[in-house]
């Protein structure tokens, strides 16, 4: 978490010369974040180093979200060739820690997340976004057989894996409930509570540069089946029903919710294994038991029957949550 050598010159060129640069956060990518402090002023420096990262999608999506009435960080300065952005500082009140400290606010704050998604999904998707449909869902699922299964020494039927998922996902792809702008990483660690802003603008959005045009159920599953914090099943059920009511959704939405939640959670099991094995980030192993708990809950839905049969035939119980709880993996 050492800022790039050219960061002081960048800050000076944008009126922030002489300010303190403090490490703030890193994430699962190559991006790093630093807090810039000078007197009473605060900003955030994003370091998205090329060629691994490109800050242009972040700028484009942030601009579009702001125009749509949502709180995305304002761009205070940019050097796109070097991958530097100077951003609005939303402060330190993150949804994750707020809910951990006050779990009685789950209904209130997840209800606000539902309102935000209803607002977002009432608009046509942002122009130019990549599609996120059946082909992309199936491609993402390869992460499970390419990374998770080898890491646990599993020999699985990959052809049947794809066939089972295609059977489950094809009706979702054809249900006519999209496309909308999908943020993809909409969860409690990417939502800030911005002081002085009310309604859906109270939620400051982060980590949306991978936005796509896809199904409205995806981001709802992302925030309610959170890889990093437990959401009670009762709150999940209440929020699904709230979204369906407020968005005027059809009965097909529920099938899509559980199917895309299962797709996302299976993909993340592969992603977290890759972060451990390839990228040297072993702490992601600690999330795997929660991911299995979520996936097992999803697989209980009748629409996931073909996928459930594949898991029962190919991934024995000792190679699921138990493998990570015992530290064997």
Q: Are residues 271 and 145 in the same domain?
A: yes
Rounded to 10°, the helix 288-299/252-277 angle is 150
Q: How far is CA 119 from CA 35, 186, 238, 251, in A?
A: 30, 14, 18, 20
**Residue 79: CB partners within 8 Å, gap ≥ 6?**
10
Q: Are residues 136 and 174 in the same domain?
A: yes
Looking at residue 26, its pLDDT comes to 62
pLDDT higher than 70, residue 142? yes
Q: Are residues 149 and 289 in the same domain?
A: yes
Distance CA 136, CA 132 (A): 6
Q: What is the DSSP letter of 286?
A: G
Q: Are residues 68 and 108 in the same domain?
A: no
Q: Report pTM.
A: 0.94
What distance lies between CA 91 and its chain's CA centroid? Answer: 20
Quick one: average pLDDT of 277-291?
95
Distance CA 285, CA 125 (A): 34
Quick one: average pLDDT of 82-91?
96
Question: What CATH number did the domain enclosing 69 receive?
Answer: 3.30.200.20
Domain range for 40: 7-87
Confidence grade of residue 27 (pLDDT, cut at 50, 70, 90): low
Q: Are residues 200 and 289 in the same domain?
A: yes
State percent of the chain over pLDDT 70: 98
Quick one: average pLDDT of 116-138?
98
pLDDT of 157-212, one tens digit each? 999 999 999 999 999 999 999 899 999 999 999 999 999 999 999 999 999 999 99
In a domain, 2, yes or no: no
Looking at residue 25, its pLDDT comes to 72
When divided into structural domains, the chain yields a total of 2
């Amino acid at each position: 978490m050492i800022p790039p050598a050219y960061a002081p010159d960048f800050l000076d060129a944008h009126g922030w010369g002489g300010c303190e640069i403090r490490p703030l956060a890193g994430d699962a990518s190559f991006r790093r974040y630093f807090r810039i402090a000078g007197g009473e002023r605060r900003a955030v420096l994003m370091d998205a180093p090329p060629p691994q990262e490109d800050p242009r999608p972040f700028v484009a999506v942030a601009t579009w979200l702001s125009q749509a009435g949502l709180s995305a960080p304002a761009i205070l300065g940019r050097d796109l060739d070097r991958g530097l952005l100077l951003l609005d500082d939303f402060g330190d009140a993150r949804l994750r820690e707020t809910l951990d400290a006050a779990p009685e606010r789950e209904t209130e704050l997840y209800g606000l997340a539902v309102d935000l998604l209803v607002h977002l999904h009432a608009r046509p998707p942002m122009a130019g976004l990549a599609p996120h449909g059946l082909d992309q869902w199936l491609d993402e699922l390869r992460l499970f057989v390419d990374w998770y299964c080898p890491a646990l020494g599993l020999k699985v039927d990959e052809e049947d894996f794809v066939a089972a998922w295609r059977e489950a996902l094809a009706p979702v792809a054809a249900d006519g409930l999209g496309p909308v702008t999908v943020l993809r990483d909409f969860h409690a660690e990417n939502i800030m509570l911005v002081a002085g802003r009310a309604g859906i603008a109270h939620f400051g959005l982060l980590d949306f540069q991978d936005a796509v045009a896809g199904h409205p159920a995806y981001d709802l599953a992302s925030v309610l089946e959170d890889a990093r914090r437990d959401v009670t099943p009762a709150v999940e059920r209440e929020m699904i029903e709230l979204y369906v009511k407020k968005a005027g959704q059809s009965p097909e939405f529920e099938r899509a919710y559980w199917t895309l939640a299962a797709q996302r959670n299976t993909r993340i099991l592969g992603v977290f294994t890759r972060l451990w094995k390839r990228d040297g980030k072993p702490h992601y192993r600690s999330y795997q038991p929660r991911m299995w708990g979520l996936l097992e809950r999803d697989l209980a839905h009748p629409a996931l029957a073909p996928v459930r049969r594949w898991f029962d035939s190919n991934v024995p119980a000792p190679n699921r949550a138990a493998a990570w709880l015992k530290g064997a993996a």
